[in-house]
Amino acid sequence: MSNKLARGMGSFFKPCECRRPSSCPHLYTIRFRNTRGKQAEESGFPTQDAAIERLTELHTAVEACLRQIGVEAIAVWRRLACCDATGRWSAAADVVENHAEQAAAAYSALSTAIEAERAEFRSSTAGDWSVVRAASIKAQRAKEKARWDGLPRREQAHRRTVYASMFSSRPLLIRSS
């Protein structure tokens, strides 16, 4: 059996298979959403009233926690910017300097890493990445050649003819229409 409370407060039920769960001796389980929005369960409630009481308690706690998360998020924004009575936003003078320094340092570290990767990618002299890439291409070629060499002579000749004629009958430009 299952009973719904007010919207968003969760539900309670008996997980047993009894014919008349309202009068059987099994305990109620409650189902609710925790502070991370995940569905959770608790069991061991002897009566509906006990289940409802616990759901109400949890609901109040979750609401309070979400309100606190909101308050903290707003506090973080306030350190960066503030909004005046007319709704105009401006940079918060006291902390912006520090924030800007941190952001600049993070940006600089990131762009140094990107520049290094880009240089390695573009250089013809082998870096790690190009060595691995070349080895991978070589291995793939070897695999393809082994497959081809494994085909019977007649099959090789047949494929050469078929694919050569397919290739030469192709238009020079493939239009996507």
CA distance 91 to 97: 10
Nearer to Zn ion, 24 or 110 (CB): 24
β-pairing verdict for 28-33 and 11-13: antiparallel
Nearer to Zn ion by Cβ, of 50 and 92: the residue is 50
Go through the chain and tell me how many residues it has: 177
Residue number with CB closer to Zn ion (29 or 55): 29
Task: Give the shortest CB-17-to-Zn ion separation in angstroms.
Answer: 7
Q: Which is nearer to Zn ion, 24 or 65 (CB)?
A: 24
Does 15 help bind Zn ion (rule: CB under 5 A)? no
- State which of residues 4, 26, 133, 145 lies at the interface with Zn ion (CB under 5 A): 26
Please work out the total of residues on this chain that contact Zn ion, with binding judged by CB under 5 A. Answer: 4
DSSP 91-157: E-HHHHHHHHHHHHHHHHHHHHHHHHHHHHHH-SS--HHHHHHHHHHHHHHHHHHHHHHHS-HHHHH
16 contacts Zn ion (rule: CB under 5 A): yes
Tokens linked to 110: 């990131």
Residue 24 within binding range of Zn ion, rule CB under 5 A? yes
Residue number with CB closer to Zn ion (30 or 58):
30
Closest CA to 61 of 97, 41, 32, 26: 32
Selected range binding Zn ion among 8-16, 44-52, 143-151, 160-168, rule: CB under 5 A: 8-16
User: Quick check: 64 and 50 in contact, CB under 8 A?
Assistant: no
User: Is residue 103 close enough to count as binding Zn ion by CB under 5 A?
Assistant: no
Q: Verify binding: residue 106, Zn ion, rule CB under 5 A.
A: no
With beta carbons less than 8 A apart as the criterion, state whether 22 and 1 touch: yes
Sole binder of Zn ion in the list 4, 15, 18, 162 (CB under 5 A): 18
Which residues bind to Zn ion, rule: CB under 5 A?
16, 18, 24, 26
